[in-house]
Structure 1
């Protein structure tokens, strides 16, 4: 397991603490991003591509979470469908991710940066 710090979300210490690993935030963010209309896929690295070839779904693919002293920073790398409004879709991504994370973890995100790394063109040779 990685040596990243855990997030402490407990306000009342009398019952104990609740800690959330950054990997959990990555998975929640990936699922919330895939719910937005216009997102074709998330851009991962070579390792996530190999894992998906063997049938395992990588929900944290295309998501990078940084824990800083200023707060939680999320970088999202997406491929959008051709014809969608990039600013509108990026804003919908930010709003859906912020809402989902707030609902599930009670954490406030400092930044959610959307990086559009590609456009998925329509498949024109379907009839062949």
Structure 2
């Protein structure tokens, strides 16, 4: 259902989609479909967002483990909705950046309108 929801006319800019399932009062599982990327093995921001919804709806405790195909994350949500995410880091790919991209990354930002 990820591609159908991502490209639905209600979302002209497309959306990310997460499907969550509660496994216990401290464990949940999500499947992730990212806009423009497709099925994704793991996502920290998706884990945090899905965890907040599950806690807000009273379906799970605010101190939980989120399980994904690519691994697990520990998510802690306090009474003020501050979120702490802890998890393993591991290399999943290697690549080489093209020279044009490296040049662009070394240029100063011309548009600073986003800076306060």
Q: TM-score, normalised by structure 1?
A: 0.27
User: Which structure dedicates a bigger proportion of its chain to helix?
Assistant: 1
